[in-house]
Structure 1
Amino acid sequence: IGLCRTEHMFFQQDRIDHFRKAILAQEPEERDVALQELLPFQKGDFLDIFQVMEGLPVTVRLLDPPLHEFLPLPHDEEELTALAKRLNLPYRRVRERVHALEQFNPMLGHRGCRLGITFPEIYAMQVRAIIEAAYELMRQGVTVLPEIMLPFVSAEEELVILRELVFNTAEEVRARMNFPETSFKFGIMIELPRAALIGDRLAPYCDFFSFGTNDLTQSTYGYSRDDIGTFLAAYVEKGILKKDPFATIDRAAVGELMRTCVERGRRTNSELKIGVCGEHGGDPESVKFFHQIGVDYVSCSPYRVPVARFAASQAAILTKRESSGNLDTRSKILHPLA
């Protein structure tokens, strides 16, 4: 699994209010209590996932969406009243907190690893759930290959703080469970131009990078993935865009940022594993480009996996033939995918 989105676990009916209680908490101690109630649910999910995926890597992305997405709308008085009653909290406190978490531009706002900086208790709980589940299954003889990934990193300083949180939490679990060694991979998503350009500074802290090409395209172009449909046809018609950049990677800028990041990252960490996570991972033309710049793997929607596998095989064959001097094979090999 190239991307396990932990936020989907929180939305289930039997646990959403536990997470809402943590979000609405005024003090870290109060938040800790709510997160402890949520921990068994998270751990149970990881037990199931790791067991099914025995012997295969599972890349778990820590919480990414802004917190307001887990709460009622600020002006939904009926739902706010019901939530306050269920959580036994003053209505005014709930309403004020929900309004305070509103964001004008959540895509570039308080989300991703920024949540780990401001609410470290959330990330610590998730790491505990991952490591406890992994160790329990390892003791039963199950081969578990967990990978913990930070989303939306933009600064080395963020990475240093959160890497310490992840490894300290994992070590606490290891010592408590008397396990011989801490066993997991650690990495980050590259979703912002700044992160791509400082790949050499980020790589020494990581086992892997995963390009989030959807967000990287948004933040490079300044296009909203959700709204591009309102002008995409006109841009293609006038020749401004040749293709939808969210379907096929833009090599001129987004691709160049990726190439730069790969080169700089491997300059300071030669063992760095590099992947792509996003719908581009299932696009044949994009997959070929990823292969050319040294990407190791792609992750995409399940229905696109067969196409991605086929495209990756073609790219590998093409590279081998081109390296042997037979340069006229490009169109012949790629034609069936056109």
Structure 2
Amino acid sequence: FTGVLCEENINNCDPDPCHHGECQDGIDSYTCICNPGYMGAICSEQINECHSNPCLHQGRCIDLVNGYQCNCLPGTSGVNCENNFDDCASNPCVHGDCIDGINRYNCACKPGFTGPRCNVDIDECASSPCNNGGTCINEVNGFRCVCPEGYHHPHCQSQADGCLSNPCVHGNCTHIVSGYKCVCDPGWIGDYCSTEGNECKSNPCQNGGTCEDLLNGYRCTCRKGFKGVNCQVVVAPCSPDPCENSGICQESPDSEGYTCQCAPGWEGERCTVDIDECLSKPCKNHALCHNIQGSYLCECRPGFTGGDCDSNIDDCLSSEY
């Protein structure tokens, strides 16, 4: 207060301390009502609307004032890139199942076919499986031997030496009453263990992960925000929010960690350390500085006013004649 009778409330909003907001005067204090998109004691901090990762399908988020904009990857659209174009709509996989990705697709080929679009018939006769002058006829996911007289199927071998011709391409040959049987190595299937098993056919990768078929296994490439062998684990370092005192949590680019964007007056890894603003001597004209949580308060000497006691009260204005 000021005046001869202390009847005047000093306007702490003059000069206006609020950067992006409206100042409301109090008694030896003021409150800033921030405009949308800003925060902090004096509305000087722009809120980062991208910290919640609103852009889906690996879209890039651009922070705006009181909003955000998603730059979507090719093949996606929408305000939050929520629409993923169906790359399988044209049925590109000739002999296989199409697995839709982001601006791409993968074909899980049926047995006997290969190629990016599963349009190449595997030639099982390439390994010359028919012995003793037999003629090989390539078929879908197999072959057939036309044997000379005195030799029998499937490889035109004699009854006694079925395994001598090594008919099992990726496996071990075992004699049985009717001939032989192939016991396939891990990752291989078929009567002659000549077809590689596709472990991606069962779609093991969850939450939009991309599956890569390997020999006797598979590998999942997870979308941002997920991890684990099958992308089954949700990575959310900002939930629950670790940042205190109105700090904003921001996930690291790999979604494995976080950093806290502290509100004015606070610092530390989780914004728990109160900054002693009095160390910078913000109070003018020999005023006494009091550090408070998240801010400071200046106790002015007689004759001075203002948030930092930087205004000299004109004592002549209150004189009466």
Band the TM-score falls in, shorter-chain normalisation: under 0.3
Which structure is higher in RCO with an 8 Å CA cutoff and minimum separation 6? Answer: 1
TM-score (norm 1): 0.18
Larger radius of gyration: 2
TM-score (norm 2): 0.19
Bigger helix fraction? 1
